[in-house]
């Protein structure tokens, strides 16, 4: 919508989650771009949520993502220990609430047992093969992580290597990573 009005568009990020060997890792790059200009190279797009038992990362408009993080934290308070239920409830609000429908962001969230992708269209998806990527470099990071999943590398090393590969390919992704991890039961 903004591009048709000749306004520059905030672009890109890469968020990746890898679940392997008793760990779940969410990694995100730090680049924020406006058109062809890097506005910030060390943004923090990954953080722990709630009581620290959930980690999440976002791709999209920063203010929108923080609004969604706040809403998700409220849902996690309402449904403690029930990440899927909290995310479904948030997605329902996101899809039906007039204000939330305008938010432009995607989220990857994970706890000890579950990894989910949330979108503004009401999607709450669990990834296949314990890896998922979102954002402008998400598919590059996802492909690299899938290729590395069958190696002896632990989850965090896979995430870091896959993110480095994405940063080499996607101009909206850089190597300034924020990585958060949790013990996983899978």
The string of DSSP codes covering 72-113 is: HHHHHHHSTT-HHHHHHHHHHHHHH-HHHHT--EEEEEE-SS
Average the pLDDT over each of 54-58, 88-92, 109-113 and give the range with the smallest value.
88-92
User: What pLDDT, in 10s, does the model give residues 155-164?
Assistant: 999 999 999 9
| The pLDDT of residue 68 | 85
Average the pLDDT over each of 2-16, 90-104, 105-119, 122-136 and give the range with the smallest value.
2-16
Q: Does residue 180 register a pLDDT over 80? A: yes
Does 184 fall in a domain?
A: no
Measured CA angle at 66 (ends 105, 130), to 5 deg: 60
Range of 10's domain? Answer: 3-179
Does 151 fall in a domain?
A: yes
Does 122 fall in a domain?
A: yes
* 120 or 66, greater pLDDT: 66
- Maximum CA extent, the chain: 49
User: What pLDDT, in 10s, does the model give residues 43-57?
Assistant: 999 999 989 999 999
* Residues labelled as active-site residues: 13
Q: Does residue 120 register a pLDDT over 80? A: no
Does 72 fall in a domain?
A: yes
Does 168 fall in a domain?
A: yes
Does 7 fall in a domain?
A: yes
| Residue located via tokens 């479904």 | 88
| The pLDDT of residue 77 | 96
Q: What is the CATH number of the domain that holds 65?
A: 3.60.20.10
| The pLDDT of residue 32 | 87
- What average pLDDT does range 87-116 have in this prediction? 84
Does 185 fall in a domain?
A: no
- How many structural domains does the chain have? 1
Does 124 fall in a domain?
A: yes
- What average pLDDT does range 4-31 have in this prediction? 82
| β-pair partners for 55 | 48, 110
pLDDT classification of 11: cutoffs 50, 70, 90: low
């Amino acid at each position: 919508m903004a591009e048709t009005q000749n306004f520059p568009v905030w672009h890109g990020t890469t968020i990746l989650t890898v679940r392997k060997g008793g760990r779940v890792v969410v990694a995100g790059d730090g680049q924020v771009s406006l058109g062809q200009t890097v506005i910030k190279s060390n943004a923090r797009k990954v953080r722990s949520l709630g009581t620290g038992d959930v980690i999440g990362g976002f791709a999209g408009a920063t203010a929108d993502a923080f609004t969604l993080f706040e809403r998700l934290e409220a849902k996690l308070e309402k449904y403690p220990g029930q990440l899927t239920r909290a995310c479904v409830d948030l997605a329902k609000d996101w899809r039906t609430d007039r204000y939330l429908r305008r938010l432009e962001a995607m989220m990857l969230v994970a706890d000890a047992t579950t990894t989910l992708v949330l979108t503004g269209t009401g999607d709450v998806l669990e990834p296949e093969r314990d890896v998922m990527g979102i954002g402008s470099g998400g598919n590059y990071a996802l492909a690299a992580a899938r290729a590395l999943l069958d190696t002896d590398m632990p989850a965090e090393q896979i995430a870091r290597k896959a993110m480095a590969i994405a940063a080499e390919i996607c101009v909206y992704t850089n190597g300034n990573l924020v990585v958060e991890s949790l013990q996983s039961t899978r």
